[in-house]
Amino acid sequence: MKLPYYINNEEIVFEAPEDTHFFYGEKVCLSQKFNDICKDCDWYDEGYTILDFTKYIDINLIKKLLRNIIIKIISEVSPKIDLSNFELNKYHKYIKNHSQHLEISKRAKRLYFTKDEFPDQKIIKFIENAIQKKLSFSPNNSDFVHWVIVRINPPYSKGFNPAHKDIYEEFDMNGFAPQMVNSWIPICGVNKKTGLPIAPKTHLLNEDLILRTRCGSTLEGQNYSVNCIKSWNGDSSMKLIYPKEGEMLLFSSHLIHGLGVNNNDDETRISLEFRLHENNNID
Ligand SMILES: [Fe+2]
Which of the residue ranges 62-66, 110-114, 243-247 would you say has the lowest mean pLDDT? 110-114
Q: What's residue 36's pLDDT?
A: 98
For residue 185, the CA-to-ligand 1 centroid distance in Å is 13
CA 274 to ligand 1 center in whole angstroms: 9
Where are the chain's structural domains? 21-278
Q: Over 90: is that where the pLDDT of 236 sits? A: yes
Q: Can you give the pLDDT at residue 283?
A: 63
pLDDT at 222: 87
pLDDT over threshold 90, residue 184: yes
Cβ-proximal residues to 163 (8 Å cutoff; 6+ apart), any chain: 5, 197, 199, 228, 229, 230, 236, 238, 256, 257, 258, 259
135 dihedral zone (left: phi>0; alpha: psi -120 to 50; beta): beta
Report the alpha-carbon distance of residue 189 to residue 211 in Å, rounded.
Answer: 31
Give the pLDDT of residue 242: 97
- Burial of residue 9 (CB within 10 Å: 0-12, 13-18, 19+) is exposed
How far, in Å, is the centroid of ligand 1 from the Cα of 167?
9
Residue 21: pLDDT over 70 = yes
- Write the CB contacts of 190 (distance below 8 Å, at least 6 apart in sequence): 242, 243, 269, 271
**Residue 5 in this model has a pLDDT that exceeds 70:** yes
Check if the beta carbon of residue 205 is closer than 8 Å to that of residue 256.
no
What CATH code would you report for 21-278? 2.60.120.620
Measured in Å, residue 227 CA sits from the centre of ligand 1 at 9
How big is the chain, counted in residues?
283
* Ligand 1 center to 149 CA (angstroms): 10
Please compute the mean of the pLDDT values over residues 196-201 and round it to a whole number.
98
Write down the pLDDT at residue 114: 72
**239 has which bridge partners?**
198
| pLDDT for the residue numbered 116 | 66
pLDDT score of 112? 83
Asked if 180 and 144 count as a contact pair (C-beta separation under 8 A), the reply is: no
Encode pLDDT of 60-102 as tens digits. Answer: 999 999 999 999 999 999 999 999 899 999 999 999 998 999 9
